């Protein structure tokens, strides 16, 4: 859940604050949890919504010093040796440098596994706009990397 918040708000301290608020909200609304989905999925949705609310509240359209970004380390057991780890880190850095709308949509789609319809609902945009945002984000990353890897 922390990683989900961090990928959206893009700052460790802010992600911790979002987590705290999310858990408070979840425990306060525990009575409204319906077993339609798993508890983890329900909680993740709260974390995502709280993260997006934090972004809206704090208007975080700002640039981040790439040296301050803590990227996850990749375990050699999870990836084939032929994968270029430097390229993976370049892609992750490119995603983290995108403007908030693009970064959030990319994380929701490729990391959290949401489809375009779910992203549209989460971000309060149309289905077509969700597809467009992700397409433009991929284009930005391609331009940054100067290759067609996505």
Residue 49 shares a structural domain with residue 76: no
Residue in 63, 55, 45, 42 with CA at minimum distance from that of residue 15: 55
Residue 38 shares a structural domain with residue 100: no
If you write DSSP's letter for every residue of 33-44 in order, what string do you get? Answer: --TTS-HHHHHH
User: Which tokens belong to 14?
Assistant: 């802010």
- Predicted confidence at residue 123, as pLDDT, reads 86
Residue 73 shares a structural domain with residue 49: no
- What's the pLDDT band for 16 if we cut at 50, 70, 90? very high
Model confidence over 85-138: pLDDT tens digits? 777 777 778 888 888 888 888 888 888 888 898 888 888 889 999 999 999 998
Residue 145 shares a structural domain with residue 122: yes
Distance between CA atoms of residues 81 and 72, nearest Å: 17
Q: Which domain holds residue 10?
A: 1-60
Residue 112 shares a structural domain with residue 150: yes
Cβ atoms of 54 and 86 within 8 Å: the answer is no
Model confidence over 22-54: pLDDT tens digits? 998 888 888 777 777 788 888 888 888 898 888
Q: How far is CA 47 from the centre of its chain?
A: 11
Split into its structural domains, the chain has a count of 2
Distance between CA atoms of residues 48 and 65, nearest Å: 24
- Predicted confidence at residue 71, as pLDDT, reads 47
pTM for this prediction: 0.57
Angle (CA) 2 128 39, round 5°: 30
If you write DSSP's letter for every residue of 68-130 in order, what string do you get? Answer: G--PPPPPGGGS-TTS-HHHHHHHHHHHHHS-HHHHHHHIIIIIS---HHHHHHHHT--HHHH
Would the pLDDT of 83 be above 80? Answer: no
């Amino acid at each position: 859940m922390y990683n989900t918040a961090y990928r959206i708000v893009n700052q460790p301290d802010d992600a911790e604050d979002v987590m705290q608020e999310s858990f408070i909200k979840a425990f306060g609304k525990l009575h409204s949890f319906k077993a339609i989905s798993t508890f983890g999925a329900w909680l993740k949705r709260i974390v995502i919504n709280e993260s997006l609310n934090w972004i809206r509240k704090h208007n975080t359209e700002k640039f981040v010093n790439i040296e301050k970004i803590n990227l996850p380390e990749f375990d050699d057991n999870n990836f084939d040796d032929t994968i270029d780890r430097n390229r993976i880190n370049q892609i992750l850095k490119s995603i983290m440098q995108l403007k908030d709308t693009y970064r959030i949509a990319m994380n929701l789609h490729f990391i959290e596994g949401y489809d375009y319809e779910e992203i549209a609902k989460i971000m309060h945009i149309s289905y077509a706009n969700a597809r467009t945002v992700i397409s433009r984000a991929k284009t930005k990353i391609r331009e940054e990397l100067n290759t067609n890897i996505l």
